[in-house]
Amino acid sequence: MEMRNKAVGSDVFSLGDRSVRRLGFGAMHLSGPGVFGPPQDPAAAIRLLREAVAAGVNHIDTSDYYGPHVTNRLIYEALHPYPADLVIVTKIGARRAWDGGVLPATSPEELVQAVHDNLRHLSVDVLDVVNLRNMFNVAEDAAKFIDTGLTVLADLQRQGLVRHVGLSNVTPDQIAQGRRICDIVCVQNKYNLGYRRDDPLIDSLAADRIAYVPFFPLGGLNGPESSSAELAAERYGITLAQVTLAWLLRRAPNVLLIPGTSSVEHLRENLDVATLTLPDDAFVGFDHFTRAQP
């Protein structure tokens, strides 16, 4: 195993007109249990954010409904004024209930308010990237929401409040529908070693230079594919999570990772992945188990 002497490596990809390193940071777990309420130790969360950026992270994923309002306020306190190369990606389309549940917030008025909430709590004049999060399982409801939501975001782009637009929790047909309304710079969907329904989508997005950002990237290690990952981790003296993240970076050049943690130790382990160069035989057996998934 070769180690490159750089904190998070030099591999980059574009989010619209912004260039980010492919290993970023997801801020969701900086809020309280169940992504609800404040963290037990806000000072530790602030230190973690500062350490991530000091290590070279320039892509942070957040949302004002994390907490709610918790992670954005922590990002502001930790990092404002923001480094010139830092890209903060946020997400709208949901809100938190009084008991911590996640509810749709999909009307035009709610979407506009969510953008302004993100602007205010991050203390910025324009949001780098806003992901519209599909909250509907029924295709017809999702189609209506995407039309409405992207029309709202396209108008906010014209007003200069949103720089770029992405989609989350969507199908290829819904992405095609959205691209008729405005440019889409990224797609954020569930994807990991054991959940690979988006394999064809990742490749088609790569051809169009659109970023793919997997959520739940460390899931799926409870089936036959886990044995290959465990063997690779043991062989190269790294953790199972590091093997998984390394495979995701290897999967396609447009894959951007945003693993989240509230632990400095886990942050450092995750960032170390960008300095690893594993040989081809480290991943033997991975595709055998996972590519066949429908």
Among all residues, which ones are annotated catalytic?
66
Supply 250's token pair: 């290897």
Q: Is 69 helix (H, G, I), strand (E, B) or coil?
A: coil
Supply 80's token pair: 């404002």
Q: Are 274 and 249 in contact (CB under 8 A)?
A: yes
AA letter at 53: V
Supply 251's token pair: 């999967």
Task: Decide the pairing of beta strands 2-3 and 276-277.
Answer: antiparallel
The CA distance from 225 to 43, in Å, is 38
Q: What share of the chain is helix, strand, coil (3-state, %, to 5)?
A: 45, 20, 35
